[in-house]
Structure 1
Amino acid sequence: MGEGKLVTGFLKNARKDGRILPSHLALFMAILHFYQGSKDKWFRITRRKLMDYSKLRSRSTYHKCLNDLVSGGYIRYEPSYDPILASRISIC
């Protein structure tokens, strides 16, 4: 699916979802940025990179936004508890 369609679909659904705030939008755009460079549906990314690109400074805000995006069906997330291996994310 094209990135433009992903953004349009996200914005249409987010408009109806009361949980989605500007911080969620920033995190989703950062995820989309790294998704564009991926050849697979699933890609690996670190929390640090996503926080840097989305300009989120608080870990608790990052985790709340990430969990809201997962529970809203916008993304799928497989955490990595290994400090070297990044977590996996897929856009729904």
Structure 2
Amino acid sequence: MKEYEELSSFYEAIADNTQISAYHICLYIALVRLRSRNGWQNPIIVFRSGVLQEARMGRKTYNKCMGDLIRLGYLKYEPSNNPLSGSSIYFNKL
């Protein structure tokens, strides 16, 4: 049920935003699923390879969409300098 609420808030937030495409939505859904599996923590710790697999998209599309979601204020991203520890993704209040 929490996934539904999270996605509903996102859909409401993007309703009038013509910059958001189906790829952005797909990526956001994948991140919500990962967040759900991690007990709804904020931030979640992710590895790009896992997100790519969950979202079923390539690296170029991921980089563009993630950058857009960050720039538009839906997410905050803190990269990791250590390849053995994942990057932090924060979900902003929508």
| Counterpart-to-counterpart distance in 1, 2:60 and 2:34 | 22
1:51-91 Cα distance to aligned partner (Å, 9 max, x none)? 1111112x221111001111111111111132111100121
1:80 aligns to 2:69 (yes or no): no
Task: Measure how far apart 1:3 and its partner are.
Answer: 2.5
- Counterpart CA distance in 1 for 2:68 and 2:24 is 8
What's the TM-score, normalizing by structure 1?
A: 0.88
How is 1:1-92 mapped onto 2 (pairs within 5 angstroms)? 2-39=2-39, 40-57=41-58, 59-92=59-92
Q: Deviations over 1:18-62 (max 9, x none)?
A: 1111111111011000111224211100110111111112x2211
What 5-or-longer segments of structure 1 have no aligned partner?
Answer: none
Question: How many pairs align?
Answer: 90
TM-score when normalising by structure 2 = 0.86
Secondary structure in structure 1 of the residue aligned to 2:38: coil
Q: For structure 2, list consecutive stretches of 5 or more residues without a partner in the other structure.
A: none
Let me know the Cα RMSD of the aligned residues. Answer: 1.2
Pairwise CA distance, 1:7: 0.6
Percent identical: 26
Letter in 1 for 2:90: S
